[in-house]
Structure formats: C-alpha cells, structure tokens
Amino acid sequence: MITLAVDCMGGDHGPRVTLAACRQFLDSHSDAQLLLVGRAESLQSFAHPRATVVGASEVVGMDDPVEVALRKKKDSSMRVAIQQVKDGIAQAAVSAGNTGALMAVSRYLLKTLEGIDRPAIATQMPNEKGGATTVLDLGANVDCTPEHLLQFAVMGTALVSALNESASGGEPSVGLLNIGEEAIKGNETIKRAGELLRAAGEAKALNFYGNVEGNDIYKGPVDIVVCDGFVGNVALKASEGVASMIVGGLKSEFKRNIFTKFAAIMAYPVLSALMKRMDHRRYNGAALLGLRGLVFKSHGSADAIAFEHALNRAYDAARNNLLDRVRARIATAAPLLVPAVAAPAAGTTGSPE
Amino acid sequence: MITLAVDCMGGDHGPRVTLAACRQFLDSHSDAQLLLVGRAESLQSFAHPRATVVGASEVVGMDDPVEVALRKKKDSSMRVAIQQVKDGIAQAAVSAGNTGALMAVSRYLLKTLEGIDRPAIATQMPNEKGGATTVLDLGANVDCTPEHLLQFAVMGTALVSALNESASGGEPSVGLLNIGEEAIKGNETIKRAGELLRAAGEAKALNFYGNVEGNDIYKGPVDIVVCDGFVGNVALKASEGVASMIVGGLKSEFKRNIFTKFAAIMAYPVLSALMKRMDHRRYNGAALLGLRGLVFKSHGSADAIAFEHALNRAYDAARNNLLDRVRARIATAAPLLVPAVAAPAAGTTGSPE
C-alpha cells in the first residue's frame, strides 16, 4: 500500500480542486491511501475507506514569505503533510502551495541527502518526439556551482530511471544547457560543469550527451536537461509566455468574424487533439529532489485533472522507490562528487582558459 | 542619403537572398544607397543606380571560429562591410554571418563607446499587446556584472527611443529579468543590478519598471527587458523551440486524414493571419549596441523578406541617429555608470544581505 500525504489547502483553489483530484486518484489506484491534510471542517465531507483526514489549523498563503511558512505557521497543512513523510507515515507529500515555502519547509524538516548540497526542482516539458524532457533546476537555486550541476544530473538520472521515462529505453541521457554559436560558449561555471559531467560519463556514473541549447528542451535529443535554477526558471516562464501568446492569438483570430467562427468549428477537433497532446496539465507535478523524503509540487493554479497528475507522479515515484534510487545513484557517483566538492571552489569568476 | 554596407556573402544562403532583399529595399527607400560587399563575380550582375559593389575576396563561414574571422580572413565580406562604417563611408553595416565572428570583428574594428565595457546584442520579440519587446543581451556576454546590466538598460533605452518603439509613447520602460515566487528572488548580481537600475530611475536617467519574469517578454508590460547574455540566449531559444513545436504540431494534426485536411483548408485564412502577426521575419535584425558604429545582425537562415527587415532596421537606426542617441544617453547616465564601475566589483559571489 502506498500512502501519500496531500496538502489539501494549498494552491489557488484549495479543497475544491484537491479533493476532486483525490477522489479520482483513489478510484484509479486501489493500492493507495491518502492522508488529507488541512482544516477538518473543510475536509470532513470527504468520505472514502482509503482516505483519512489529518488536521492542520493553518494555511500557507500563495504570497506568504518563506519566513512565515517556516517560523510562524507551524501547524500549516503544508508542513503537517511533509511531517507525515518525515515520520514515515506517508511515502510522499504533494502540495500546490507556494514553491519557495514548500522548498524551505521540506528542506528544514527532511534535510538533504548525504552528498547533495542543494535540493533541486525537476519538471517535465513535452517534446516534439512525443515524449517529455525533464529539466532541473527550475528555480530552487541561483548561482549554482559546477558541482551542483553535476549533482542535479545525478538526481535527474535517478528520477527519470525511477519513472521509466527514458525515451531510448536505456540509461537516461543528460544534456548541459548552454548557448551556442556565440563567441564565448558558456561561462566559466558551465565550462567546468561540462568537464565534471564528461568525467562522470566516462566513469559510467551517468550518460552524458554534451551541451544542448534552449530549443533542445522541446526538440528532445536528451532525456534530462541540467541548468542553473535562474536560467531554468526564465526558460520555463518564457516558454509558457510564448505558448500562451500563440494560443491567445489563435483564439482571437478564430473569433474575428462569422467566417472565422465557422472555420473554428471545422478546425476544432484538430486543435483540441493538439491541445491534448501538449496539455501542460499532463506534465504537472514537479519533484523536489535531494531531500530525505519525497515531495511533489503541483502548479498553484492546477485544476483537478492537473492536480491528479501530480498525485500520480508522487505515487509512481513512491512505488518505484525513487528515494532509494537517488541514494544509490549518489553512492555510485560519490567518488566524482566528493573530490569535486572538496576541491577549491571553481567559482563563476574563474580565470580565463 | 543613408548609406548601408551589406555583407552580401553572409548567412546560410548568401547573395541569392541578400541581393533579392537589397533590390526590394532600394525600391522602397529612395534616399538610401547600398554598398554590396563580397566577391565581385557573385555580385556584379546586380545593377542599380544606388548600389555599388565593394570587393572582398573571402567569406566568414557560419562555423568559422572567431579567431579565423579575426586573424585569418582579413579580406572577408563581413570585415570589409564593417570597415566601411569605421571609415565613415557607410552609416551602418548589416550581416547575416555568424554572431560570434560579427561581434568580435565589430568590436575589434569599431571599439566600444566610452562608458560601455561590453557591447550587447538586442533584438525584438513580438508581444501580446501587438507590439514588440526589446530584449538584451542575447548572448554577447556571459557572467554580466550589475554594472553591465545597467549599461544594457541605457543602450536599450536609446535603441527603442531611436526606433520610436515605446508602446506607451513616452520614455521607454525597462524591466530587469528575474525569477519570481521562489525562495531566493534572484542572485546577488540581479539584486545589485536592481539597486543600480532603481537609482538610475530615481535620477531620471531611465524609466525603470522593476523586475519582470520570463513570460513578461511576451506579455509586454515593458518596452525593454534587460538580462545576462546567457539567460537571454536560453530564453530566446527556448521560445523558438516551443513556437516551432506548436506550429509543427498544428501541421501534423491538420495532415492526419482527409477530414483534418479539409479543416486545414477552412482554417487556412485564420492560421495564416496569425502566422503573419507573429512572423519572426518581421522581427529580424538584431542591433549590436555599444560600439562606435552601427552594426545589425540578421538571422543566418533569413530569407529575402527577413533580410530586408534587417536592412530596414539598420536604415531606421542610421536615419534616427541611433549612435548619437546612445552617446547622449550614456553621457546622461555617466554619473551613475562611472562610480558604479569604479566601485569594488559586486561580483556574483557577494556576501548575503
């Protein structure tokens, strides 16, 4: 039996969305049970033999500063859900609450795994090959060192292996996000990260493909794209911006007049097939990697279908022992990770080659 | 009379595309003349009273390393075109050659303006408001300091003012690209850059809006988005990747069967109106800013329509005295730029606040 702790109060919509998703999830997973964490009065109407309400009197707001979530709201649904993982009662926690708070509380309660300096946020993006590219970090870390990027590669490999998402079927491939064609290819951090990843590849600790560029996230030559959290966050949001501009543009063009409205009716099945294929809800559920426990983050604006996907991902990760796999990967890569971390910091301002 | 020097050999297609674009450009600009730079035998068939062939025996290849362009191919069409600007014969140069080489040769021949440490590449992206957002830097610089970002803001303001592209009609607004909602908003460089930009805004040296996120490039709350070249390059390429995935997806869905092909015919006028609105060719022509001369970079894969847009942009910039405007802006901002640059470097590894 897999047990997930669900922060039912988090996200833009709270129990209205999370409970609907929990119902769907329970119906399709007969070997799962849920701990519904939140205010009892909001959750007690939910009756299911495999669901238990766990009371938590506070809610971390979407705009609450990290300090409030960490130091003030000690009985928040977010925190209590993560506590279930720490106490070994649940195998994973899922929350649609604010990212900064979720990362901080998870890190505070669960601590990072040995060999990992900083946890990372990993998510999936659909790619042209019809599969998904896993990208990390998405904003948990800014100013990453080359060693951090190597750790991300190791954790990302464990994630994709656990969720069986390598497009090739073999060892998942890792690309280092870089810039092309320009005079100086990458900064000093990226150059050094490339060396570390190449060494890890040669030592068979991971399957390093080489450098990739921003568009490769969507082209899909690799299973995993590793990058600094600042860069990853900007890339993800820029992508969302373009997609929403195109979709918005399509809608407004189709609404222009009676003829275009008729065209819209004709084109509807085609457009909806495309939207389904690229539906971002199918990719909801980012993993917080590098912690001594599994935590998944849903988009704050997730609807019930999207939140259910986040639950599914947490369930798959728990079922496939993601945590053990990450630990095993780190152990394998330890000879590479440890000296690298112990060596004098190859900072971002290193001397030119 | 405005004179542009055109590297006719650069880009993926060379004279076939560049000459066709030059013809169109001359037909629509009666007060312009062109210096067609390249191999005489490739260009001599082009006859126009306002076009003159300037011989150059070599061509910088799209894959040539910067050193080759700089040190070996001293009679390249790219270099000779930029030399025309240096010698005061042309007001601006346009090339579709490789970015790294173009930046290096431009910088070597023209030198940077006083007060500017590093030139930047600025381009326009279409936004939801039906206008364009100017983004810089796009990859000329990695590891930017806060002072560099301030310089980019000053140069970007001059560019948008010169090309009269402020959506609001007033002083163009500047946003600093950052990440939101997460625990640590931005790295030390971005925090410090935010302080410098705020000070510049208070001193009326520019119109600083505040932080923006990746999706704001396409939402359009500001005229100018300032970022490190690594981040800008990744954001731009990720955006291209998403757009091409969506367009590719649309095409394949419409080709699926006889019904969807019929739907495509019905939807064609709508889709082509959308494509026209978002046509990236309309935004071709990136400015290399911060040099003592005007240089514009066309996409290497540009067709004649796209290349003509790059010529148009160079013409507009020359006609509107972009160079003088950049100089004047830098002079206004000098009190802010100079002490900042002279101060001990606020590097990317600064102490926490």
pLDDT digits 0-9 by tens, B115-124: 888 899 999 9
Prediction ipTM score? 0.83
Residue B336 vs residues B151, B199, B205, B330: alpha-carbon distances, Å: 10, 8, 9, 9
A66 contacts in B (CB within 8 Å)? 183
Give me the mean pLDDT over the A284-312 stretch: 94
d(CA A200, CA A150): 8
Instruction: Please give, rounded to a whole number of angstroms, the shortest distance from the CA of B179 to a CA of chain A.
Output: 6
Question: Is the per-residue pLDDT at B341 higher than 60?
Answer: no
In this predicted model, which residue has the larger pLDDT, B248 or A278? B248
d(CA A122, CA A163): 13
Give me the mean pLDDT over the A46-73 stretch: 93
Instruction: Please give, rounded to a whole number of angstroms, the shortest distance from the CA of A40 to a CA of chain B.
Output: 28
pLDDT of residue B168: 62
Question: Is the per-residue pLDDT at A189 higher than 80?
Answer: yes
Taking one residue from A and the other from B, the number of pairs with CB-CB distance under 8 angstroms is 239
Identify the band that residue B255 occupies on the pLDDT scale cut at 50, 70 and 90: confident
pLDDT of residue B352: 34
Instruction: Please give, rounded to a whole number of angstroms, the shortest distance from the CA of A207 to a CA of chain B.
Output: 23
Q: Minimum mean pLDDT among A3-7, B170-174, B205-209, B267-271: which range?
A: B267-271
B245 contacts in A (CB within 8 Å)? 126-128, 218-219, 278
B234 contacts in A (CB within 8 Å)? 177, 179, 213-214, 227, 231, 234-235
Question: Is the per-residue pLDDT at A353 higher than 70?
Answer: no
Q: Minimum mean pLDDT among A49-63, A161-175, A191-205: which range?
A: A161-175
> For B16, what's the count of Cα atoms within 13 Å in the CB-facing half-sphere?
6
Both tokens of residue A66?
């990290």
Question: Is the per-residue pLDDT at B345 higher than 50?
Answer: no
Query: In A36-138, which residue ranges form alpha helices assigned H by DSSP?
Result: 40-43, 66-67, 77-86, 99-110
User: For residue range B48-84, what is the model confidence (pLDDT) as tens digits?
Assistant: 999 999 999 999 998 888 889 999 999 999 999 999 9
SS3 A125: strand
Q: What architecture (CATH level 2) is domain A114-288+303-353?
A: 3-Layer(aba) Sandwich (3.40)
Give me the mean pLDDT over the B250-254 stretch: 79
Give, in degrees to the nearest 5, the angle at Cα A64 between B208 and A293. Answer: 120
d(CA B34, CA B22): 8
Question: Is the per-residue pLDDT at A184 higher than 60?
Answer: no
Q: Is there a contact between B183 and A103 if contact means CB atoms under 8 Å apart?
A: yes
Question: For residue A1, how far is the Cα from the chain centroid?
Answer: 24
d(CA B206, CA B229): 21
Question: Is the per-residue pLDDT at A166 higher than 90?
Answer: no
Give me the mean pLDDT over the A319-329 stretch: 91
**Residue B96: is it exposed, middle or buried by C-beta count within 10 angstroms (0-12/13-18/19+)?**
buried
d(CA A7, CA B328): 56
A256 contacts in B (CB within 8 Å)? 270, 273
Instruction: Please give, rounded to a whole number of angstroms, the shortest distance from the CA of B183 to a CA of chain A.
Output: 4
Q: Mean pLDDT over all residues of chain B?
A: 87
From B238, B248, B269, residue closest to A128, measured CB to CB: B248
B126 contacts in A (CB within 8 Å)? 245
Q: What is the DSSP string of B141-174?
A: -SS--HHHHHHHHHHHHHHHHHTT--TTSSSPEE
Identify the band that residue B219 occupies on the pLDDT scale cut at 50, 70 and 90: very high
Q: What architecture (CATH level 2) is domain B1-110?
A: 3-Layer(aba) Sandwich (3.40)
In this predicted model, which residue has the larger pLDDT, B280 or A184? B280
Helix (H) or strand (E) holding A15: helix A15-28
Question: For residue B24, how far is the Cα from the chain centroid?
Answer: 22
Nearest to A286 by CA among A137, A132, A122, A99: A122
Phi, psi (rounded to 5 degrees) for B175? -115, 145
Residue B138 per-residue DSSP state = S
Question: Are the CB atoms for A311 and A36 separated by under 8 Å?
Answer: no
Question: Is the per-residue pLDDT at B350 higher than 60?
Answer: no
pLDDT of residue B32: 97
User: For residue range B137-191, what is the model confidence (pLDDT) as tens digits?
Assistant: 998 888 889 999 999 999 999 999 888 755 566 889 999 999 874 435 667 888 8
Question: Is the per-residue pLDDT at A294 higher than 60?
Answer: yes
SS3 A146: helix
Instruction: Please give, rounded to a whole number of angstroms, the shortest distance from the CA of A241 to a CA of chain B.
Output: 4
pLDDT of residue A169: 67
Amino acid at A99: T
Both tokens of residue A42?
């909001």
Question: Is the per-residue pLDDT at A63 higher than 80?
Answer: yes
Identify the band that residue A350 occupies on the pLDDT scale cut at 50, 70 and 90: very low
Q: What is the DSSP string of B190-257?
A: HHHHHHHHHHHHHTTSSEEEEEE-TTHHHH-SSSEEE--HHHHHHHHHHHHHHHHHHHHHHHHHHTSS
d(CA A301, CA A306): 9
Helix axes B258-278, B229-254, angle to 10 degrees: 150
Pairing verdict, β A294-297 and A286-289: antiparallel
d(CA B193, CA B150): 7
d(CA A215, CA B283): 18
pLDDT of residue A2: 96
From B177, B215, B267, residue closest to A263, measured CB to CB: B267
Question: Are the CB atoms for B14 and B42 separated by under 8 Å?
Answer: yes
Identify the band that residue A268 occupies on the pLDDT scale cut at 50, 70 and 90: confident
Helix (H) or strand (E) holding B135: strand B132-136
Least CA distance to B271: which residue of chain A? A250
Both tokens of residue B198?
């705020």
From B99, B215, B274, residue closest to A240, measured CB to CB: B215
pLDDT of residue B340: 43
From A181, A187, A241, residue closest to B215, measured CB to CB: A241
From B218, B253, B349, residue closest to A347, measured CB to CB: B349
From B100, B128, B253, residue closest to A274, measured CB to CB: B253
d(CA B45, CA B105): 28
Q: What is the DSSP string of B270-307?
A: HHHHHHHHH-GGGG--EEEESBSSEEEE--TT--HHHH
As a CATH number, domain B112-353 is 3.40.718.10
d(CA B205, CA B334): 9
Least CA distance to B262: which residue of chain A? A266
Q: Is there a contact between A140 and B216 if contact means CB atoms under 8 Å apart?
A: no
Q: Is there a contact between A181 and B215 if contact means CB atoms under 8 Å apart?
A: no
On the question of a cis peptide bond just before residue B216, with omega within 30 degrees of 0, the verdict is no
Interface test with B, best of A121, A242, A256 (most B CBs within 10 A): A242
Give me the mean pLDDT over the A142-150 stretch: 89
User: For residue range B260-295, what is the model confidence (pLDDT) as tens digits?
Assistant: 777 777 777 777 777 777 777 788 899 999 999 999
Sheet holding A120-126, edge to edge: A51-55, A32-38, A2-7, A92-95, A294-297, A286-289, A120-126, A132-136, A224-226, A173-177, A207-212
d(CA A197, CA A227): 12
Do B112-353 and B1-110 fall under one CATH topology? no
pLDDT of residue B347: 38
Question: Is the per-residue pLDDT at A215 higher than 50?
Answer: yes
Q: Is there a contact between B263 and A266 if contact means CB atoms under 8 Å apart?
A: yes
Q: Minimum mean pLDDT among A19-23, A29-33, A55-59, B345-349: which range?
A: B345-349
Interface test with A, best of B148, B176, B211, B253 (most A CBs within 10 A): B253
Burial letters A45-78, b for 16+ CB under 10 A, else e = ebeeeebebbebebbbbbebbbeebbeebeebbb
In this predicted model, which residue has the larger pLDDT, A155 or A259? A155
Nearest to A241 by CA among B221, B239, B123, B130: B239
User: To which residue do tokens 């890792």 refer?
Assistant: A174
Both tokens of residue B130?
């039906």
> In chain B, what are the domain boundaries?
1-110, 112-353
Both tokens of residue B140?
């000329």
Question: Are the CB atoms for A348 and A185 separated by under 8 Å?
Answer: no
Interface test with A, best of B245, B278, B353 (most A CBs within 10 A): B245
Interface test with B, best of A245, A266, A268, A274 (most B CBs within 10 A): A245
Pairing verdict, β A32-38 and A2-7: parallel
Q: Minimum mean pLDDT among A105-114, A248-257, A336-345, B107-116: which range?
A: A336-345
What end-to-end distance do the CA atoms of chain A give, in Å? 55
Nearest to A82 by CA among A102, A97, A65, A64: A102
Q: Is there a contact between B253 and A246 if contact means CB atoms under 8 Å apart?
A: no
d(CA A3, CA B57): 72
Least CA distance to A191: which residue of chain B? B142
Q: What is the DSSP string of A225-259?
A: EE--HHHHHHHHHHHHHHHHHHHHHHHHHHTSSHH
Amino acid at A328: A
Question: Are the CB atoms for B304 and B100 separated by under 8 Å?
Answer: no
> For A262, what's the count of Cα atoms within 13 Å in the CB-facing half-sphere?
7
Give me the mean pLDDT over the A183-199 stretch: 80
Burial letters B290-321, b for 16+ CB under 10 A, else e = bbbbbbbbbbbebbbebbbbbbbbbbbbbbee
B101 contacts in A (CB within 8 Å)? 183
Nearest to A299 by CA among A163, A133, A123, A118: A123
d(CA A123, CA A103): 14
Residues counted in chain B: 353
d(CA B334, CA B18): 39
Instruction: Please give, rounded to a whole number of angstroms, the shortest distance from the CA of A206 to a CA of chain B.
Output: 24
